[in-house]
Amino acid sequence: SPAGMVLSVLVILLLSMLYEAVKMGKAVLLQRALLALPRSLSRESLAEPEERGTGPGQGRWFQYHVGQTLFHVVQVVLGYMVMLAVMSYNAWIFLGAIVGSTLGYFV
């Protein structure tokens, strides 16, 4: 039905936008993880934070890495969902995926 097709296109458009948002969130987490890495792997940098006297932010790189992994899983699942929808070979679904990806990247 026409209403079902419009709803399908809107869902694919939103999924494509969400895919782009997750991709950007993953990039932000990568930047934070790189900033949280210790400068060197010397004995002092591997010591516990309370022994070093530095802030608690030095050990957070692992938490950022776990967050990045979760974002990656969500990105892969969304990507495959959009790909499967596009593989229906429906022109309207294809245009919804393209417009959603464009809007998601722009936003």
The 10s digit of each residue's pLDDT in 36-86 is: 777 666 555 555 555 554 555 556 778 888 888 999 999 999 999 999 999
Whether the pLDDT of residue 8 is over 90: the answer is: yes
Count how many domains the chain has. 1
Specify whether the CB–CB gap between 96 and 10 falls below 8 A: yes
Give residue-wise pLDDT tens across range 72-104.
999 999 999 999 999 999 999 999 999 999 999
Model's pTM, two decimal places? Answer: 0.74
Where in the sequence is the domain holding 74, given as residue range(s)? 57-106
Alpha-helical runs (H) found in the chain: 2-36, 43-46, 49-52, 61-86, 91-106
Residue 53: predicted pLDDT: 46
Q: Which residue has the higher pLDDT, 61 or 105?
A: 105
Residue 89 in any domain: the answer is yes
Residue 33 in any domain: the answer is no
